[in-house]
Amino acid sequence: MIWIWLRGLLRRRPARLAATTAGIAVAVALLASLGAFLAASKATMTSRAAASVAVDWQVAVAPGADPAAVLAAVDSAPGTPAAVPVGFATTSGLSSGGTTTQTTGPGIVLGVPDTYRQLFPAAVRTLAGPGNGVMLAQQTAANLHARPGDTVTIGRQGLPGVPVRITSVVDLPQADSLFQKVGAPVGAQPVAPPDNVLLLPQSTWHQVFDPLAAARPDLVAAQIHAARTHRLPADPAAAYTRSTAVAHNLEAATSGAATVGDNLGASLDAARSDAAYSQVLFLFLGLPGAVLAGLLTAALTATGAPRRRAEQALLRARGASARTLLALAAVEAAVVGVAGSLLGLAGAALVGRWAFGAAGFGATPAASLAWTAGAALAGMAIAAVTVLLPARRDLRETTVAQGRTPVGRIAAPRWTRYGLDFILLGLAAAVFLLTGRNGYRLVLAPEGVPAISVSYWAFAGPALLWTGGALLAWRLADLLLGRGRRFVATGLKPVAGGLSGIVAAGLSRRRGTLSRAVVLLAVAVAFAGSTATFNATYRQQAEVDARLTNGADVTVTQSPGTVAGPGEAARIARIAGVPTVEPVQHRFAYVGADLQDLYGVRPGTVARATSLQDAYFTGGTARHLMSVLAARPDSVLVSAETVHDFQLKPGDLLNLRLQDGRTKQLTTVPFHYAGVVNEFPTAPKDSFFVANATYVAQRTGSDAVGAFLIDTGGKDPAAVARRVQAGLGPSATVTDLTTARATTGSSLTAVDLAGLTRVELAFALLLAAASGGLVLALGLTERRRTFAIATALGADTRQLRGFVFAETAVLTACGLAAGTGLGWLLSQMLVKVLTGVFDPPPAALAVPWPYLAAVAAVTVAALAAVSAATVRLARRPSVTILREL
């Protein structure tokens, strides 16, 4: 009997089975695609976090300990392919001869082995010379006016100086890490790396500083620099746990002789927070799509519910048992579940090839297999919930007589009596406000703590809004089609003509089914709109973050030892491709005992070379606060932390101590607090000041510029940067926006979000079209008998077209209107709740109008195509249609 039932379904109900299978396939494909992408993203974050570290471990040898023993212990640590000793010595100063003698203050001299640059290629970058031998840091070379071939004398405390011949000028890209105070907390770390650095071959270093170590051991230290294996777990959190565990084990094994500066672990520590955010993004953006696909499947199944109940009643009348009927429903669920899962997994593989060039989205085989199995199980669960459970419910709640009744009594759902939709929307607003008390910080990753805390409570807000908005759409559609039947009839006159009243009455009779279709279309449109808006806003803010960090299209940063005034901008402007140059001062100012960065700008022209968003400031717009700096030169913009710490109020006097350019001593400069600055181009993320450059120059006697911001008009910043670097030489550091896009911000922005966006938006577009088109198609197909009877009673093609297109018009207008409103609310909530993903937070949403127009156009086209096909089928002879039914 089961085989006969299955053959009958395949022969007589292929459209319904195919539609249900397609709904399950979409859910499976979406889950498998986004799940595999999530796993691949975590693996990418781990590998990029590891690759970004120049020296994985810096192991400080305790005073009095044996460096050779510590080196042996590091070598024997699991996952350490190579380790070398590095000497650190403090020099009393460096000097160079020539026509004039240049002398620096104290500095650091490193002793590195010959293999150091091969083991740690990212630690040192060659600017001039062969890149070996005696290497002088770029800033120190500028201070000494030295270049390869010159002689520099190394000062030693209490000992005569030692002359060395410079062979190379180099840059230390990760100087902050290289000169960290190993084992010290963050607050005890040096404010900045040393200004004067020299690198010596290890043998030369020992010749120069072994005598100093004997006399002043406090001025000489030893470290072991180790390269760690990057074969780590794909999850950054697991990789961080493994890396820190090995480091702690080494410290315990050496009994205090070694302290590990775990640079690799620090990088993974940052990446694990981004991995948690990627998981949050999956749940916020991917899970609703899978749920929507499940709802679509349920709606497709529900369109044939009256016919299934009638068939079930007939079988029961002929003696079929409840167990037999459940077995038949289970077979149908198994067929559509297996077929949908296989089709969905094949679709996910194709999507991976299309969007990422790999069927598994770049995930490891184990992770890809896990998500494949999970998505397939989800497909089977959707089939059971949408096919098997309704059949079981009908068997328990419907009698044979009720099942054979073609038209039932219309009853409002119970939840409408209690206002469940309004309750859910109120709860969504309450959760949203409560979540905002902690600044919408969804992911908490305390430094050095293995566990990461994710506030899943924040998911309740969007989930409640989804559910409440959908129920409200149901209520409004039911109200419009019921009590508002006259209004509907008036609106349908252009479509149905004189039959508008009859058509409106028919729609009112079927308002339960139509309301369900309206809700499904609204939720699909809202999903497409909110997902597209979030992705567009994310791309916008990633660009803002890169520009904020780099400063402009191209930024020239002067070495601290180089004095360049604003007039240097004219020289830079003569370089090809440089239309606009803006100088920015960079000083250091003491407020009380706290040392902060100070940026002096020209308020009237700074916005020509860089973008200033209102979100960067508090207490006024960017234009207003820049005009305040211009009108009152002694005004200053202060970070929120400083305002809080010093209890500042607008207009308060703020005395800052800056270095005088003439005496090189600190001088007090009075400012007046004018507003709060949260972000500023090239500024650090912590506290800083923004002031009027002219006023700063007047009060300090120096107009020295720290950086030049170059606006290229968006035309090939990388090429312009190369020309500027060639024109200015190695004394300046030139960075461009193209490079900053790839390296700026968190590792979350480094994953292939463009591919993810294509996947999400393609599925959203498909779901929006299917939610209207498939549901309408199956609903109209189930009403072929009604259309055939109408034709037999004399209805012509125009009248049939009025019936069909009237239903389509109501579904389209109500679904798109409700979806637009719900999508706008969801977009606002998603961007606000996921504030932690953005750096800086957006001032306004980025609305992808072309995509939203495409969603509307495709949805309307799908509905119109279904309607036209239905009218064409309804024109067939009524006797033929009735005989087939």
pLDDT tens readout for residues 80-128: 999 999 999 999 999 987 666 788 889 999 999 999 999 999 899 888 8
Of 563, 554, 595, nearest to 706 by C-alpha is 563
433 contact partners, CB below 8 Å, separation of at least 6: none
pLDDT band at 791 (very low <50, low <70, confident <90, very high): low
Is 150:96 a contact under the CB 8 Å cutoff?
A: yes
Tens of pLDDT, residue by residue over 227-253, are 999 888 888 888 898 999 999 999 999
Residue 543, pLDDT > 60, answer: yes
Ramachandran area for residue 185 (φ above 0: left; ψ -120 to 50: alpha; else beta)? beta
585 burial via Cβ count (<10 Å: 0-12, 13-18, 19+):
buried
Query: What single letter denotes the amino acid at residue 334?
Result: A
Residue 747, pLDDT > 50, answer: no
pLDDT band at 55 (very low <50, low <70, confident <90, very high): very high
pLDDT band at 136 (very low <50, low <70, confident <90, very high): very high
DSSP code for 783: T
Of 281, 277, 274, 280, nearest to 240 by C-alpha is 274
Is 807:493 a contact under the CB 8 Å cutoff?
A: no
Rg (CA), the chain: 35
User: d(Cα 464, Cα 466) in Å, to the nearest integer?
Assistant: 5
Of 705, 707, 683, nearest to 693 by C-alpha is 705
Q: What is the mean pLDDT of residues 576-589?
A: 89
pLDDT of residue 627: 94
DSSP 35-61: HHHHHHHHHHHHHHHHHT-S-SEEEEE
pLDDT of residue 795: 63
pLDDT of residue 854: 87
Among 399-413, 672-686, 775-789, which stretch is predicted with the lowest mean pLDDT? 399-413
Number of continuous H segments (helices) and E segments (strands) in the chain: 33, 25
The pairing of strands 159-165 and 443-444 is unpaired
Is 191:589 a contact under the CB 8 Å cutoff?
A: no
- Of residues 730 and 224, the one with the higher pLDDT is 224
> Highest mean pLDDT: which of 439-453, 499-513, 861-875?
499-513
pLDDT band at 327 (very low <50, low <70, confident <90, very high): confident
Is 471:420 a contact under the CB 8 Å cutoff?
A: yes
pLDDT of residue 709: 92
pLDDT of residue 838: 73
Percent of the chain with pLDDT over 70: 82
pLDDT of residue 489: 85
pLDDT of residue 565: 75
User: d(Cα 476, Cα 355) in Å, to the nearest integer?
Assistant: 39
Query: What single letter denotes the amino acid at residue 452?
Result: I
Is 251:259 a contact under the CB 8 Å cutoff?
A: yes
Of 655, 708, 704, 646, nearest to 682 by C-alpha is 708
Q: What is the mean pLDDT of residues 11-26?
A: 78
Three-class SS state of 423:
helix
Is 560:139 a contact under the CB 8 Å cutoff?
A: yes
- Of residues 355 and 746, the one with the higher pLDDT is 355
pLDDT of residue 882: 46
Phi/psi of residue 109, nearest 5 degrees = -115, 125
pLDDT band at 879 (very low <50, low <70, confident <90, very high): very low
247 contact partners, CB below 8 Å, separation of at least 6: 57, 260, 262, 265
**Which helix (H) or strand (E) segment is 827 a member of?**
helix 797-833
Among 96-105, 178-187, 315-324, 520-529, which stretch is predicted with the lowest mean pLDDT? 315-324
Is 302:516 a contact under the CB 8 Å cutoff?
A: yes
User: d(Cα 182, Cα 192) in Å, to the nearest integer?
Assistant: 15
CA count, 13 A, side-chain hemisphere, 620: 15
Angle of CA points 377, 761, 815, to nearest 5°? 90
Partners of residue 89 on adjacent β-strands: 109, 220
Rounded to the nearest 5 percent, the helix, strand and coil shares of the chain are 60, 15, 25
Q: What is the mean pLDDT of residues 325-337?
A: 80
User: d(Cα 112, Cα 132) in Å, to the nearest integer?
Assistant: 10
Residue 446, pLDDT > 60, answer: no
CA count, 13 A, side-chain hemisphere, 162: 19
Residue 751, pLDDT > 60, answer: no
Q: With the CA atoms of 467, 470, 471 and 474 taken in that order, what torsion angle do they form, in degrees rounded to the nearest 10?
A: -170
pLDDT band at 459 (very low <50, low <70, confident <90, very high): confident
How far is residue 245 from each of residues 7, 50, 240, 262, 578, measured CA to CA in Å? 61, 16, 8, 11, 51
pLDDT of residue 453: 62
User: d(Cα 628, Cα 55) in Å, to the nearest integer?
Assistant: 46
- Of residues 671 and 16, the one with the higher pLDDT is 671
Among 547-561, 643-657, 714-728, which stretch is predicted with the lowest mean pLDDT? 547-561
Ramachandran area for residue 762 (φ above 0: left; ψ -120 to 50: alpha; else beta)? alpha
User: d(Cα 79, Cα 792) in Å, to the nearest integer?
Assistant: 82
pLDDT of residue 431: 85
DSSP 79-120: T--EEEEEEEEEESEEEE-SSS-EE---EEEEEE-TTHHHH-
Q: What is the mean pLDDT of residues 325-338?
A: 81
User: d(Cα 27, Cα 287) in Å, to the nearest integer?
Assistant: 9
| Per-residue tokens: 133 | 């031998």
Of 600, 587, 588, 680, nearest to 640 by C-alpha is 680
pLDDT of residue 885: 46
Of 473, 709, 731, 475, nearest to 572 by C-alpha is 709
| Per-residue tokens: 735 | 């960075």
Is 687:640 a contact under the CB 8 Å cutoff?
A: no
Is pTM beyond 0.85 here? Answer: no
3-class secondary structure for 571-633? Answer: HHHCCCCCCEEEEEEEEEEEECCEEEEEEEECCCCHHHCCCCCHHHEECCCHHHHHHHHHHCC
User: d(Cα 605, Cα 627) in Å, to the nearest integer?
Assistant: 11
572 burial via Cβ count (<10 Å: 0-12, 13-18, 19+):
buried
Q: Indicate the average pLDDT of the chain.
A: 82
Q: How far apart are the first and last CA of the chain?
A: 22
Q: What is the mean pLDDT of residues 197-212?
A: 94
pLDDT of residue 32: 83
Total Cβ atoms within 10 A of residue 813 = 13
Query: Which sign, positive or negative, has the C-alpha torsion 342, 345, 351, 356?
Result: negative
Is 268:448 a contact under the CB 8 Å cutoff?
A: no
Q: What is the mean pLDDT of residues 306-314?
A: 66
User: d(Cα 541, Cα 547) in Å, to the nearest integer?
Assistant: 10
Of 233, 45, 28, nearest to 752 by C-alpha is 45
pLDDT of residue 183: 82
Residue spans of the domains in the chain: they are: 1-54+235-254+266-407, 57-227, 468-549+753-885, 563-730
pLDDT of residue 21: 85
pLDDT of residue 765: 79
pLDDT band at 881 (very low <50, low <70, confident <90, very high): very low
Of 282, 302, 209, nearest to 35 by C-alpha is 282
pLDDT band at 682 (very low <50, low <70, confident <90, very high): confident
Total Cβ atoms within 10 A of residue 586 = 18
Q: What is the mean pLDDT of residues 520-542?
A: 85
DSSP code for 843: S
pLDDT of residue 745: 47
